[in-house]
A and B are shown apart, each in its own frame.
Chain A
């Protein structure tokens, strides 16, 4: 196995891990708000989060690329404050990947939270527990299957992401070249053997993740 092959797979894993970790931290508060609060712009927020499910990845990638440009406010702000160039960099791909994977994390978490009986939350409140304590001691332990589904779906989706990454990051070895782009690149160069190796790894990882999700959902009743 070549050095490039391993580097590309490691980068793919790094992108998926970072995306999943950031989304887990960001996703819980957002899912909590959507599950339990009513506010004026809620349908719009829900629609925006679900957009990546219906929007072609190239559309999002194009707009992200425009936003990343130092000639636009957002790109200039990031470059000025953090000294980071988002276009055609790992950081840029990561940000695009986070936005593109939002529904895969938030929707299972939101469904998990809404499926917990309201009386459990209320019982915890009447026992003097704060919303924070209720969240960690009552809500999280009773939605473990939803959390695993959210993590697995986000990770699996990131590993297979192609359109957004190529639009925002291009095809730079060790920086933005993930496995799905490498497959395309190898096929274009008629290196079918290497393309097959990448494809096989992605196939195995995806089937393992999906089998995990279905086996958890099959015995959803944990307690």
Chain B
């Protein structure tokens, strides 16, 4: 279980804003962090990965303290064993598809590399450099690379935002495949309602840095919709 209780001052396009999140994520859950741009979703994901240091709070994963401001504990990203997929995929331009995946491994395991290449249909592209790949292919390589290290938590930062509609649908399946293969906790940032409903088992709705609702996607969006309708009727 991933327990989060953090506070962090952010600077958004609408000025200063305080990110305050207190939630728990069950093992093997596929949770979406949902909200508009600038809500704090990516910042939260970066804080969990150890790429950004929160101002205050505590993050505990399966009894291991990743971050505790009161005890001055901040485990670096190298030791958190998370698979992080960046918005721009961050594939290493100097490495081939196969080397990108192999680089992510802690020990040499060619069998696992072959399995990932096959799973994401990348065998024919194994010697290509990232600059020679399409957006969808890059996304698949980034997913395979994130899985290569057998991470504790898979973190996906708006993985589908740069793709067209058809590609998004196809790659949603790949994300589901990745989650099922790992049998692990997956956290995904999204601002697309359909994406959240079709992929996530739970959702945390963040607005201006605060969690305004959390639970099963259908229930959360239903509640939000009822709120909007109620406000309109009152007006």
Contact = CB atoms under 8 A, between A and B. Distances in A.
Q: Do A and B come from one complex?
A: yes
Interface of A: 117, 119-120, 122-130, 137-138, 141-142, 221-223
B76 A138 contact: no
Given A120-B92, A142-B93, A142-B94, A126 B83 contact: yes
A106 B79 CA distance: 32
Interface string B71-96: 00000111111111011101011100
Interface of B: 49-51, 76-84, 86-88, 90, 92-94, 103-104, 106, 129-131, 145, 149
A117 B88 contact: yes
13 contacts: A117-B88, A123-B84, A123-B86, A123-B90, A123-B92, A125-B78, A126-B80, A127-B145, A130-B78, A137-B92, A137-B103, A223-B129, A223-B130
A163 B106 CA distance: 53
Interface centre among A125, A128, A130, A221 (most CB of B within 10 A): A128
A125 B51 contact: yes
Contacts of A126: 49-51, 77-78, 80, 82-84
B51 A128 contact: no
A81 to B, nearest CB: 39
A3 B68 CA distance: 71
B175 to A, nearest CB: 17
Nearest to A121: B90
Nearest to B86: A119
B131 A125 contact: no
Contacts of A223: 93-94, 129-131
User: Which 5 residue pairs are nearest across A and B when measured between Cβ atoms?
Assistant: A123-B90, A141-B94, A119-B90, A126-B84, A223-B93
